[in-house]
Structure 1
Amino acid sequence: MHDLLPHISGQLSNVFDSITYFMPEVYLALLFIIVMITDLIFGKRSTGLCRTVACAGLVLVMYRDLTQFTLVVDGQHFIFSNMLLLSRSGIFFKLIIDLLSSILLLYFTWDNKLKAHSKGLSDLYSIAVASIFGMHLMVMAVNLLSIYLAIEMVSLASYLMVAYRTENSFSTEAGLKYVLFGAASSAIMLYGISLLYGFSGSLDVVFQSSIVQLSKVNPVSSSFAVILVLIGIGFKLSFVPAHFWVPDVYQGAPTPITAYLSTVPKIAAFALLINFLPPFILTSHWTGFDMGIALSIAGIITMIVGNFAAVMQNNVKRMLAYSSIGHTGFALMAVVVLSLQGVSALTYYLLVYAIANIGALALANYFANEAHAEEMEDYRGLGLKYPAASVCFVIILISLTGLPVTAGFTGKLFVFSAVYSVYQQTHNIWLMLLMVTGALTTVVSLFYYIRIPLYLFLKRKEMGEIADKKSYNLLILSGIISFLLILLGIFPDFVLRYL
């Protein structure tokens, strides 16, 4: 105990100095407390107030995010004794997460089934804010302990959100499956972390000294430990083979929760992967398996499984769930090269994919509210009945496919360009296989994305009555998203100039 006393003052100074770089997260912690207290004071009637407080708080958090660019003029800064890393790319990821989360918080009450929940939605907003805090930590985590805690914080909040509609057996079943798969992946990751700590003697695995220690261990053992950790991260990314939970959970969860889970936690997980991988890819001290080849194989299989499985789906949400797996595999292409161009391409691609996916699920929600349409067959002839929503759906699906002149096309083009520029230097056959698979699966995606416009406009059925009470909020949101996807497709520099 006495040996530790001289170090206490230094540790306290480090903590106080780090708080300056941690202000957005401090704001999020305070916002969580305020939203929770608001819910406790006003009860079921506080849904609108909690939503207003949460969204206003996120605006302040985004402002604090922007001010952090002046703190990392040298590119990056370690805080809290190297537990977290604040970098320019990390700030961009946090901004994207906060922006998308604020849109999704507004979206929660636009789903008829979720809005009709007997408990109200007040506590759902406090859970969401806690999840956003965990995602901020995921973006900055570089220590094995902080990585585990951040992932668990986001996972626990996600379990609660999926099973929020306790009166619905399908939602409860989805939540149970999510918890079981999540608990298994967390245990596997924790086992890998314990092995890495035992092999290297440090939790700071991103530093070269730790990799040097790992190089002294049997390569099979160290590789096994790293694979276990990647499985835990892969659970949040939903790449093969950690994808089994996605279709059932996305279909069973309320649609706004599905939109939330399929976008912002996935973006945070990619940011975490970017922080975790450099010591294993960019240094010569790592003696285990080739991480680039392993991720290339995972990306290829994920693209194939996600896109071909989506072709066979008839439920719209389930189809979008499998397509999200395919998009994860495509995004892994940019992670494999791990260059500055690759990180910029990944950031842009994730942003436009998330916007388009939110729009697609919002429109699926719109047709479920208006016409009780959840299966492909239910969309027959609805294009003439709901023309504005149907046209927006077509634009959004074109972007998800990656066709000109939408943002999805430019996003995929930037990823291909980043991979090809590295391929020209290395002539790595795995990069060529990634590009070929990405191009072929993009063609495959046409077969399932085009089915929705086919049923909307070309299939006919007897026209029914149009609902008196329309979901105008969802229609306005999808219209704005459609406009953004076209705008960013024509003028991608609006975003790229800042990346």
Structure 2
Amino acid sequence: MHDLLPHISDQLSNVFGSITYFMPEVYLALLFIIVLITDLIFGKRSTGLCRTVACAGLVLVMYLDLMQFALVVDGQHFIFSNMLLLSRSNIFFKLIIDLLSFILLLYFTWDKKLNGHQKGLSDLYSITMASILGLHLMVMAVNLLSIYLAIEMVSIASYLMVAYRTENAFSTEAGLKYVLFGAASSAIMLYGISLLYGFSGSLDVIFQNNIIELSKVNPVSSSFAVILVLIGIGFKLSFVPAHFWVPDVYQGASTPVTAYLSTVPKIAAFALLINFLPPFILSGRWTGFDIGIALSIVGIITMIAGNFAAVMQTNVKRMLAYSSIGHTGFALMAVVVLTLQGVSALTYYLLVYALANIAALMLATYFANEADAEDVDSYKGLGLKYPIASVCFVIVLISLTGLPVTAGFTGKLFVFSAVYSVYQQTHSIWLMLLMVTGALTTVVSLFYYIKIPLNLFLKRKEISEIDSNKSYNLLILSIIISFLLILLGIFPDLVLHYL
């Protein structure tokens, strides 16, 4: 005990000095407590108030994110004894997460089925605030302990969000499946972390001296440990083989929750992967398996599995679930090269993919509210009855496919450019296979995305009048996002200038 006393002062100074770089997360923690207390005080009637407090608070957090750019002029800054890392790219990821979360907070009450939940949505807003805090920590985590805690924080919140509609058996089943897969993934990752700690003697695995220690271990053992950790991260990314939970969970969860799970945790997981991989790929001291080749193989399989499985789906949410797996495989292309150009391309691609995916699920909610349409076949003839929503749906799907002149095309072009730049230097066959697979699966995606416009405009059926819930808010926000997808496709520098 006496040996530790001289270090306590230094540790406290480090903690207090780190708080300046941690203000958005401090405010998120306070925001979670405020939303929770608001719910406890006002009860079931507090949904609107909790939503207002959460949205206003998130705007303040985005402002604090922007203020952090002045703190990392020199590039990056480690805080809390190297547990977290603040850098320009991390701040961009946090901004994207907060912006998308703000849109999703608005979206929650616009889903007829979710809004009809007997307990109200106040609890959902407090759970979402805790999840956003966990996502911020995921983006910044560079220590194995902070990585694990951040992922678990997000996972627990996600389990609650999926099973929120307890009166719905399908939602409860999806939540149970998610918990089981998540628990298995968590155990696997924790075992990998324990092995890495045992081999290197430190949890700060991203530093060069720890990679040197790992290089002294049998390559098979150290490779096995890293694979286990990557499986844990892959659960959040939903790449093959950690993707089995996605279709059932996305279909069983409420559509706004599906929109949340398919975008913001995935973006945070990619940011985490970018923090975790450089010592293993760029240091030249790693003696285990070639992680670049391994991720290339995973990316190729993920693109093929996700896109070909989506072709066979008839349920819109399930189709978008499989397509999100395919998009994960495509985004892995930028991670494999791990250059500044690759990180910028990945950031842009994830932003435009997330916007398009959220808009697609919003429009799925719109048609479910208005015409009780859940499957692709039930969209027949609705294009003329709901022309504005249908045109927006077409624009969003064009962006998800990656066709000109949308932002989806520009995002895929940037990813291809980043990979091709590295291929020109290395002539790696794996990078060539990644690009070929990415191009072919983009063509395959046309076959399932085109089903919706085909049914909306070119097929007819007798449409019976039903009691619709006029979803003007969904329509207005979908129009705005559709406009943004075209604008960013034509003028990508509006975003790229800052990356």
Q: TM-score, normalised by structure 2?
A: 1.00
Q: TM-score, normalised by structure 1?
A: 1.00
- Is the counterpart of residue 289 in structure 1 residue 289 in structure 2? yes
Task: Kindly provide the CA deviation profile for residues 17-76 of structure 1, in whole angstroms up to 9, marking residues without a partner as x.
Answer: 000000000000000000000000000000000000000000000000000000001110
Q: Cα distance, 1:388 vs. partner?
A: 0.7
Q: How far apart, CA to CA, are the structure 2 residues paired with 1:48 and 1:78?
A: 39
SS of 1:85's equivalent? strand
Identity of aligned residues (%): 89
Q: How far apart, CA to CA, are the structure 2 residues paired with 1:446 and 1:23?
A: 44
- Is the counterpart of residue 79 in structure 1 residue 79 in structure 2? yes
**In the TM superposition, what are the counterparts of 1:440-459 in structure 2 within 5 Å?**
440-459=440-459
Q: How far apart, CA to CA, are the structure 1 residues paired with 2:470 and 2:337?
A: 46
Q: How far apart, CA to CA, are the structure 1 residues paired with 2:407 and 2:362?
A: 18
SS of 2:77's equivalent? strand
**In the TM superposition, what are the counterparts of 1:218-229 in structure 2 within 5 Å?**
218-229=218-229
- Is the counterpart of residue 97 in structure 1 residue 103 in structure 2? no
2:119 equivalent in structure 1: 119
Task: Kindly provide the CA deviation profile for residues 73-100 of structure 1, in whole angstroms up to 9, marking residues without a partner as x.
Answer: 1110000000000000000000000000
1:487 equivalent in structure 2: 487
Q: How far apart, CA to CA, are the structure 2 residues paired with 1:79 and 1:428?
A: 37
- Is the counterpart of residue 323 in structure 1 residue 323 in structure 2? yes
2:415 equivalent in structure 1: 415
Assess if the C-alpha contact under 8 Å between 2:369 and 2:469 holds in 1. no
1:65 equivalent in structure 2: 65
- Is the counterpart of residue 366 in structure 1 residue 381 in structure 2? no
Q: How far apart, CA to CA, are the structure 1 residues paired with 2:439 and 2:352?
A: 18
**In the TM superposition, what are the counterparts of 1:375-386 in structure 2 within 5 Å?**
375-386=375-386
**In the TM superposition, what are the counterparts of 1:220-369 in structure 2 within 5 Å?**
220-369=220-369
Q: How far apart, CA to CA, are the structure 1 residues paired with 2:197 and 2:264?
A: 29
Paired residue type of 1:13: S
Assess if the C-alpha contact under 8 Å between 1:131 and 1:157 holds in 2. yes
Task: Kindly provide the CA deviation profile for residues 111-169 of structure 1, in whole angstroms up to 9, marking residues without a partner as x.
Answer: 00000000000010000000000000000000000000000000000000000000000
Paired residue type of 1:143: N
Q: Cα distance, 1:466 vs. partner?
A: 6.4
Q: How far apart, CA to CA, are the structure 2 residues paired with 1:460 and 1:387?
A: 14
Q: How far apart, CA to CA, are the structure 1 residues paired with 2:468 and 2:437?
A: 46
Q: How far apart, CA to CA, are the structure 2 residues paired with 1:160 and 1:462?
A: 40
Q: Cα distance, 1:456 vs. partner?
A: 0.6
Task: Kindly provide the CA deviation profile for residues 463-490 of structure 1, in whole angstroms up to 9, marking residues without a partner as x.
Answer: 3326554111111111111100000000
Assess if the C-alpha contact under 8 Å between 1:385 and 1:466 holds in 2. no
Q: How far apart, CA to CA, are the structure 2 residues paired with 1:70 and 1:480?
A: 31
Q: Cα distance, 1:298 vs. partner?
A: 0.4
Task: Kindly provide the CA deviation profile for residues 254-313 of structure 1, in whole angstroms up to 9, marking residues without a partner as x.
Answer: 000000000000000000000000000001110000010000000000000000000000
Paired residue type of 1:215: S
SS of 2:22's equivalent? helix
Paired residue type of 2:123: D
1:197 equivalent in structure 2: 197
Paired residue type of 1:180: L
2:52 equivalent in structure 1: 52
Count of aligned residue pairs for this structure pair: 499
Paired residue type of 1:192: G
Q: How far apart, CA to CA, are the structure 1 residues paired with 2:98 and 2:335?
A: 22
Unpaired runs of 5+ residues, structure 1, are none
Q: How far apart, CA to CA, are the structure 2 residues paired with 1:270 and 1:57?
A: 25
Q: How far apart, CA to CA, are the structure 2 residues paired with 1:266 and 1:433?
A: 24
Task: Kindly provide the CA deviation profile for residues 311-355 of structure 1, in whole angstroms up to 9, marking residues without a partner as x.
Answer: 000000000000000000000000000000000000000000000
1:132 equivalent in structure 2: 132
1:142 equivalent in structure 2: 142
Q: How far apart, CA to CA, are the structure 2 residues paired with 1:486 and 1:469?
A: 28
Assess if the C-alpha contact under 8 Å between 2:371 and 2:468 holds in 1. no
Q: How far apart, CA to CA, are the structure 1 residues paired with 2:410 and 2:466?
A: 37
Unpaired runs of 5+ residues, structure 2, are none
Q: How far apart, CA to CA, are the structure 2 residues paired with 1:494 and 1:230?
A: 34
SS of 2:464's equivalent? coil
Runs ≥4 residues deviating over 3 A: 466-469
- Is the counterpart of residue 470 in structure 1 residue 456 in structure 2? no
Give the alignment's Cα RMSD to 1 decimal: 0.6
Q: How far apart, CA to CA, are the structure 1 residues paired with 2:284 and 2:418?
A: 22
Paired residue type of 1:129: M
Q: How far apart, CA to CA, are the structure 1 residues paired with 2:404 and 2:306?
A: 22
Task: Kindly provide the CA deviation profile for residues 176-234 of structure 1, in whole angstroms up to 9, marking residues without a partner as x.
Answer: 00000000000000000000000000000000000000000000000000000000000
SS of 2:155's equivalent? helix
Assess if the C-alpha contact under 8 Å between 2:237 and 2:266 holds in 1. yes
SS of 2:78's equivalent? strand
Assess if the C-alpha contact under 8 Å between 2:162 and 2:253 holds in 1. yes
Q: How far apart, CA to CA, are the structure 1 residues paired with 2:399 and 2:106?
A: 23
Paired residue type of 1:492: P
SS of 1:247's equivalent? helix
Paired residue type of 2:358: I
Q: How far apart, CA to CA, are the structure 1 residues paired with 2:219 and 2:409?
A: 41
Task: Kindly provide the CA deviation profile for residues 356-384 of structure 1, in whole angstroms up to 9, marking residues without a partner as x.
Answer: 00000000011111111111111111111
SS of 2:193's equivalent? helix
- Is the counterpart of residue 177 in structure 1 residue 150 in structure 2? no
Assess if the C-alpha contact under 8 Å between 1:310 and 1:322 holds in 2. yes
Q: Cα distance, 1:385 vs. partner?
A: 1.0
Paired residue type of 1:106: L
Assess if the C-alpha contact under 8 Å between 1:238 and 1:246 holds in 2. yes
SS of 1:356's equivalent? helix
Q: How far apart, CA to CA, are the structure 1 residues paired with 2:73 and 2:100?
A: 26
